A and B are shown apart, each in its own frame.
Chain A
Amino acid sequence: MHDEDRLVEEVLQGRHASFELLVKPYRTGFLNMAYRITGNIEEAREVCQEALLRMFRYLKAFRKGRSFKTWAYRILLNTSYDHLKERKKFDRAVESQKERVLFHDSDQETRVFRREIAERIQGLLEVLTPKERAVFLLRDGEDFSVEETARTIGCSPLSVRTHLCRARKKIRKELERDFFREPGQEET
Chain B
Amino acid sequence: MRCRKIIKQLPLLAGEEFPPEKAREIHAHLDDCLRCRKEYEAYRHAVKTARAWMASERRDLPEEDWHRMIQQAVQEASVHETRPIAPLVPWPFSRAWAVVLMAFIVLAGALMVIRPSLLQDIPHTARAVLRLQEREEPGMPVLGEQDVIAMTLVSKEAGVEIKWIFNKHFDLREEK
* Chain A residues proximal to chain B, CB less than 8 Å: 16, 19-20, 23, 27-28, 31-32, 35-36, 41, 44-45, 48-49, 52-53, 55-57, 114, 117-118, 120-121, 124, 136-137, 139-141, 146, 161, 164-165, 168-169, 171-172, 175-176
The stretch that binds A, out of B24-32, B48-56, B113-121, is B48-56
Set B50, B59, B77: member contacting A56, Cβ < 8 A? B77
Q: Which residues of B contact A57 (CB under 8 A)?
A: 77, 80
CB pair A31–B56 under 8 Å, yes or no, is: no
Q: Which residues of B contact A56 (CB under 8 A)?
A: 73-74, 77
Q: Which residues of A contact B150 (CB under 8 A)?
A: none
- Assembly CA distance A48 to B59 (angstroms): 13
A19, A49, A118, A165 — which one has the most chain B CB atoms within 10 A of its CB?
Answer: A165
CB pair B73–A52 under 8 Å, yes or no, is: yes
Ranked 6 nearest A-B pairs via Cβ: A172-B46, A168-B11, A52-B73, A53-B73, A56-B77, A117-B57
CB pair A168–B14 under 8 Å, yes or no, is: yes
Interface size for B (C-beta < 8 A) is 34
* Chain B residues proximal to chain A, CB less than 8 Å: 8, 11-12, 14-15, 17, 42-43, 45-47, 49-51, 53-54, 56-61, 65-67, 69-70, 72-74, 76-78, 80
CB pair A165–B12 under 8 Å, yes or no, is: yes
CB pair B60–A28 under 8 Å, yes or no, is: yes
Q: Which residues of A contact B65 (CB under 8 A)?
A: 45
Interface SS majority for chain B:
helix
Q: Which residues of A contact B58 (CB under 8 A)?
A: 28, 32
Set B15, B59, B61, B69: member contacting A140, Cβ < 8 A? B15
- Assembly CA distance A35 to B54 (angstroms): 11
State whether A118 and B46 are in contact (beta carbons under 8 Å apart), knowing that A16-B74, A56-B77, A164-B15 are contacts in the complex: no
CB pair B17–A140 under 8 Å, yes or no, is: no
What are 15 residue pairs bridging A and B, where the CB atoms are less than 8 Å apart in the complex? A20-B67, A28-B60, A41-B59, A45-B65, A48-B69, A56-B73, A117-B53, A140-B50, A161-B17, A168-B11, A168-B14, A168-B43, A168-B46, A175-B49, A176-B42
Quote the shortest CB–CB distance from A98 to chain B (angstroms): 14
CB pair B47–A140 under 8 Å, yes or no, is: yes
Quote the shortest CB–CB distance from A117 to chain B (angstroms): 4
A48, A118, A139, A140 — which one has the most chain B CB atoms within 10 A of its CB?
Answer: A140
| Residue of chain B at shortest CB distance from A160 | B17
